[in-house]
Amino acid sequence: MAQAPDDLSQVKAILEAALLTSPEPLPVSELCKLFDTQVGADVVNRLLDDLQADYQGRGVELVKVASGWRFQSRAEYQRFLARLNPQKPPRYSRAVLETLAVIAYRQPVTRGDIEGIRGVSVSTGVLKALEARGWIDVVGHREVPGRPALYSTTKAFLDDLKLQSLDELPPLDELGTLLEADAKAAGELLESAQPDAADRRGTETEWASR
């Protein structure tokens, strides 16, 4: 059995090690499982805030996204790090971006809802591409004849855009540009896009009127 941490500084060091070595964001509930002794969520949250402050001004930062906490490189260093892996960012067709935008801003929606808003049919390939990317998922079925699937965005979608919730989605006209970048870069670019709810509702109305 693992030895219990002696003090809060050791608890903090264990949290840092776990987050630095995890390939995925970790929620507080999982981080609490690191300790045999009673280390509550309030203590973990306070130490995460301290750890976040410790990394201010460094090359990496500790951030909270939809799935939990993670370390990532700062936005201003992305252009340098990209030189180590000079791959072209994925590009998405207009159909894919428009479909994703409808789902993101009007979820949960059926395929018929998407087609009604876009004014064109939605191919199965478009939906499968978004599911394969991990950005959308079927969350239920509408109780009407045929019981069509209801689509919503996933936590992975929010994680890739470095968002904690759908309330932080950028204005609709910015979404396509951001998603054409690679997922990490898109996350940093969204730091400056924190629209209020009224702005997003207005954008949704404009989309629905097309």
In the chain, domain spans: 8-73, 94-208
CB 195 within 8 A of CB 171: yes
Instruction: Examine domains 8-73 and 94-208 and report if their fold is the same.
Output: yes
Distance CA 61, CA 208 (A): 38
Distance CA 101, CA 96 (A): 9
Predicted confidence (pLDDT) per residue in 76-95, tens digit: 988 898 888 776 666 778 88
CB 166 within 8 A of CB 153: yes
Distance CA 21, CA 122 (A): 40
Distance CA 187, CA 156 (A): 12
Judged by DSSP in three states, 161 sits in coil
Show the beta-strand stretches assigned E in 39-148. Answer: 60-65, 68-73, 136-141
pLDDT on residue 193: 33
Reported as a pLDDT band with limits 50, 70 and 90, residue 202 is very low
Domain 8-73 has CATH 2.60.220.10: no
pLDDT on residue 199: 37
Which of 115-129, 174-188, 194-208 shows the lowest mean pLDDT across its residues?
Answer: 194-208
Distance CA 96, CA 119 (A): 14
Predicted confidence (pLDDT) per residue in 174-194, tens digit: 665 555 543 333 333 333 333
Whether residue 207 has pLDDT greater than 80:
no
Residue 46 is encoded by which pair of tokens?
């306070």
Whether residue 109 has pLDDT greater than 80:
yes
Predicted confidence (pLDDT) per residue in 28-53, tens digit: 999 999 998 778 999 999 999 999 99
- Of the candidate CATH numbers 1.10.10.10, 1.20.120.1200, 3.40.30.10, 1.10.274.10, the domain formed by 94-208 belongs to 1.10.10.10
Type of residue numbered 93:
S
pLDDT on residue 88: 67
Q: pTM of the full predicted structure?
A: 0.64
Percent of the chain at pLDDT > 70 equals 77
Judged by DSSP in three states, 209 sits in coil
pLDDT on residue 1: 36
Distance CA 158, CA 114 (A): 20
